[in-house]
Amino acid sequence: MKKIIFSVLVCTFLSCQENRPHGNQYKLPELTPNNLLIGSLNENRSSYRVSFYDINIDFDIEEKSLDGFVIIKAESIRDLNKLQIDLAENLSIKKVTHRNEELSFSRELDAVLIDFTSTIKKGSMFEFTVFYHGVPQNADNPPWAGGFTWSKDKEGRDWIAVSCEGEGARIWWPNKDHITTEGDSVRMVYTVPSEMVAVGNGTLRNVITNDDKSTYEWFVSNPINNYNISVQIGNYVAVQDTFIKDNTIHNMNHYVLDYNKELASNYFTQSKEVIRFYEKYFGDYQWYEDGYKLIEVPYLGMEHRSAVTYGNGFSIYNGVRSKSWPMYGVIDPLIIHETGHEWFGNSVTASDPTHIWIHEGLQVYSESIYFEDKFDSYEVGVHYLNTIKDRIVNEIPIVGRENENHWALHGDTYMKGAWVMHTLRSVINNDDVWFQILKEFMVENAKGFANTSDFFAKVAEKTNKDYWYFAEQYLYTPNQPKLEYYQTDNDFYYRWNNVNKNFIMPLDLLVNGEVVRVSPSSEYQSFKISKHSQVEIMNWKFYVEPVQMN
């Protein structure tokens, strides 16, 4: 009995590890009271827009605690006396101030309702400060189950990092924790023991050392998703590199543990090739003012904007924490995946986290395009997609419900999301148009928000066809279309099963080596064939299940 239990636990652990960051849920979550408070832009959240976060945190590493204050600058959208910010309920608020006055507040789960003593008129800029402290949640399995990772490096020294996509930035600092709320700019001021270095997003503006503590001031001058704001604390050194584009030299200052400096200075140069690839297919890198850097962390990695975290062991063939990803020995899986998120997610952000295939499905799909481009081979791209195909489970739809704080980061968002894009390319059957769709969608929504409808509106615009039936099948149901078929001496019969009534996707067959496009419906149709013809369903181009009927 013990043996059985052990093997079940190991399987669960491995399957979890094998998923891309952060795919580990195979059920639509329940609408809890907290998800209702955090998931929608209710009247106490839609009444103001955040323009600036000034985050100030002093870390006590022995106690694994933090003590800080955050100044929130905002603009009122309407007259308001009350507003909601968000902070995990296990963190304590010492006080909230506005114009040197203490404000009263109440807390409900992760929501904090702040009362102002006088009305803030519509269109006013105002600021308030939240003073707080506490022990933030530990990361159970970063980056999939996030929080703080309090780790040690090989020399036994403290090494700390945070990851919180899905959990939300409110697990460590107060903010309006909705995916569409991004500060226009953010200042991060982190105080740590003086022998350590604290690395945040963007550029380093200042370091002040007093007695036994050092304070690092970081700044991002572009909008940034809350969950992308990060802190990494360790015995870091900078690895300086440059990126040249259009005769302009951009600095890249990576941060790694001191003993990995030589290794990283060679290894991290591959990030430049990745940036060039994404610029070619998906438009300009949007964050040159904030730089680009990789930061070594004690977990797999995460797409923290302009501070991409990396923990995959500097190994070009797979790496220490991601053994199952085929990368053909040409690129580190973490560097390409998390850097690609500077486009998918960090620049074009889902307007509700239930549409997060726009981050992850497109990201994994773009990796197949990277290999197609790198090897100048469509077949290698397809091979990559085939290696991830058996991780698709088809249990819940890729897109769930809006306004419920549903971070759709389950496995199908990644692998099936990529296959859905690959299938759509095959359906459209015009690569010029397909790559224009991808690039225009990314360029037109850069530094903005988009949902599934927005993507398919772009598809319709470029193809003059409505492919919403395709989205409804592949993104809003978990059902993989089945092509049921059989052949006689003279005829080949085929029909769709397991599909929506309106599903009219054409499909390519290989008939004696010739591509034949058919338009199956739920009723059997047929075409003439010669005796002993070989007919193959091209399921390497279309995510369909061929089912031979007898």
Q: What is the dihedral of CA 215, 140, 348, 322, to 10 degrees?
A: 110
SS3 44: helix
The minimum distance between CB 370 and Zn ion, in angstroms, equals 14
Residue 519: other Cβ atoms inside 10 A: 11
* CB of 21 or CB of 481, closer to Zn ion: 21
- Integer CA distances (angstroms), 489 to 247, 299, 493, 529, 530, in order: 66, 59, 11, 7, 7
Q: Using CA atoms, how far apart are residues 302 and 305, in angstroms rounded to an integer?
A: 9
Write each residue from 300 to 329 as x if it is in contact with Zn ion (CB under 5 A), else as -, in one continuous string.
------------------------------
Stretch that binds Zn ion, among 13-21, 327-335, 370-378, 487-495 (CB under 5 A): 13-21
* CB of 363 or CB of 452, closer to Zn ion: 363
* CB of 359 or CB of 422, closer to Zn ion: 359
The minimum distance between CB 208 and Zn ion, in angstroms, equals 35
The minimum distance between CB 287 and Zn ion, in angstroms, equals 17
* CB of 163 or CB of 498, closer to Zn ion: 163
Stretch that binds Zn ion, among 19-27, 156-164, 433-441, 525-533 (CB under 5 A): 19-27
421 beta partners: none
* CB of 332 or CB of 360, closer to Zn ion: 360
* CB of 22 or CB of 541, closer to Zn ion: 22
The C-alpha angle with vertex 322 and arms to 320 and 325, in degrees rounded to 5, equals 130
Write each residue from 389 to 428 as x if it is in contact with Zn ion (CB under 5 A), else as -, in one continuous string.
----------------------------------------
The minimum distance between CB 165 and Zn ion, in angstroms, equals 8
- Secondary structure of 269-283 in HEC code, one letter for each residue: CHHHHHHHHHHHHHC
Q: How many amino acids of this chain bind Zn ion (CB under 5 A)?
A: 2
Omega before residue 143 within 30° of 0, cis? yes
* CB of 19 or CB of 445, closer to Zn ion: 19
The minimum distance between CB 111 and Zn ion, in angstroms, equals 28
Residue 19 dihedral angles phi and psi, to the nearest 5°: -65, 155
* CB of 290 or CB of 360, closer to Zn ion: 360
Q: Using CA atoms, how far apart are residues 400 and 406, in angstroms rounded to an integer?
A: 7
35-52: string of b/e by CB count within 10 Å (b at 16+)? bebbbbeeebbebbbbbe
* CB of 72 or CB of 356, closer to Zn ion: 356
313-345: string of b/e by CB count within 10 Å (b at 16+)? ebeeebbeebeebebeeebbbbbbbbbbbbbbb
Residue with tokens 């690129």: 331
Stretch that binds Zn ion, among 16-24, 66-74, 458-466, 473-481 (CB under 5 A): 16-24
The minimum distance between CB 335 and Zn ion, in angstroms, equals 12
The minimum distance between CB 57 and Zn ion, in angstroms, equals 26
Write each residue from 20 to 59 as x if it is in contact with Zn ion (CB under 5 A), else as -, in one continuous string.
-x--------------------------------------
> Footprint of Zn ion on residues 344-373 (CB under 5 A)?
360
- Integer CA distances (angstroms), 521 to 428, 460, 482, 545, in order: 18, 22, 11, 15
The minimum distance between CB 338 and Zn ion, in angstroms, equals 7
- Integer CA distances (angstroms), 256 to 92, 270, 295, 411, in order: 33, 15, 6, 30
The minimum distance between CB 386 and Zn ion, in angstroms, equals 20
Q: List residues binding Zn ion (CB under 5 A).
A: 21, 360
